[in-house]
Structure 1
């Protein structure tokens, strides 16, 4: 009990995108008590795994909660330091096997994977084990560092919109990246990112609901690994969580799908919006506006950002407008205050880092 302590801490509990700010208390035994106004949980030290050092912060994950992240700051008691997991030299499984044996296994796996997988992304993508996909997705999000925006009101608005377009029991996770590109991406492991540029481009929350529903469609149809394998080849599978795909936000933004996959994701978005009584007309207007601004249909073909790898924006606008039900009493997916909180999310988050593509 002499080594009991309390220190400032922040954490994500793995159940939503809210960042909790409070204290971590250790009583000298085998668990931490995390205490904040909106979250009070106990975490056994045996379930924690070291993730990374970020300045003077130690970041830990939790075995039983995929999205759990704990950040501890400052000096820790020696007794607690001995119980907390430390940084591994090469990765947990490599440390257990030894570098030489792991390298041999890696070489054999590489040769087998090249022969078996490289030529078949369309059938291989949906068959990639979900544990591998989650690992790759975590690496891609992690490489964004502090560029993910969080505010209580903005997170709540995003979660409300996500619940409308993705009512399934196993939730897709969504976030906002402080990147000015007009883009949104679905990542491996059931994660979706809206770039701040596309949020600022939107004139109504229903427009964003269509974008979000589209990216959720890519997740639900398991298009993501197929696109990664097609674009980046076998390195995605061989590198796993250390994949070069996740090194930059530019790599994430460059992910592309087949036109058929894009149309399937649009169809999923329209179906989910219909179930949630969200008007597809706003999304149609969004595509029409982007087509006008990008010069679609002119000789320069300068369709940038999210439009670049997608079917023609006017084709998509026509399909969304045709999906509207005559006489339906549609209501906005977010109210004005919630939409404003989402729009100002990156500006209001004083801790978020900016990103410059060039």
Structure 2
């Protein structure tokens, strides 16, 4: 099949450096490896051409409110029409965004439309602030239209599925839960001694790892307060914080009085993140109440590296790990339970290692991103066979 893939993301920080929706990049690479002809239409920040083996058509992006999106829409349409000279597409996959281009391509080519929803759109609507609220009616209209006319809709957990079915009136059978999964070629068990040497970490120490980004979902106060207790109770433990931090986080770390035992790496590439995880005893994930419709990708990545996980999550977002002992799930914001779960893994390294191995096996069996791509391809092929092109041709 020939598959057109779309997403929109503008982040000035990513100008000239890799970043963006890694799941989309991996999906394109895996679909291509399956023999499909994949074309990714991507904004030109985040170096998308370096992150997938699929063909990338870069669309110039500008961070000007309203105008930036209109500009991207017009250029995406022009680029898509030009790409049709090389052959029509059979399927269109889009990470939900304010765009009519994917729907237009479905209309003119008879392709099936697959829409991926990575969070709760109704939460986004509620949290939209300032001048951005002016475009909210357009965003809601575009989302509703695209979802209603999609042949299949994918989302990350049952909580978001319930929101989509109830809020947009979608057929429940049309919405499938598609796990984020992990890239098991990158996130895999590595030799700890070599990883420590590569990263200049002392191999005689033990490490707990949190990989995250600054957003309203990650509960940095919980992570840092738990770290203060853990570092006090286990003198040989250090906390690895992967990702950017703001001044507020740095002040919290300074307030622990143990700042020298926090290792702040800044933003790192996926391969380097996998090496840091390899040095660690346990991976951490902590969501605030705002993360009520998020299932963190980092949990899949930790498990793929063979590490157990302690995850603080709002109820209803744990679709995939209920029967997995390698993931100790606590309620969001429950500091005592979160702390106790970390301590249990550190107190029993043999158990932690054994459960980490079980977690790796689970990822390989059910959550490898190659398997996720196969599900997308199967949905596209099934919908394409079952739905003749528009116009009855």
Q: TM-score range by the shorter chain?
A: under 0.3
TM-score normalised by the chain length of structure 1? 0.25
TM-score normalised by the chain length of structure 2? 0.24
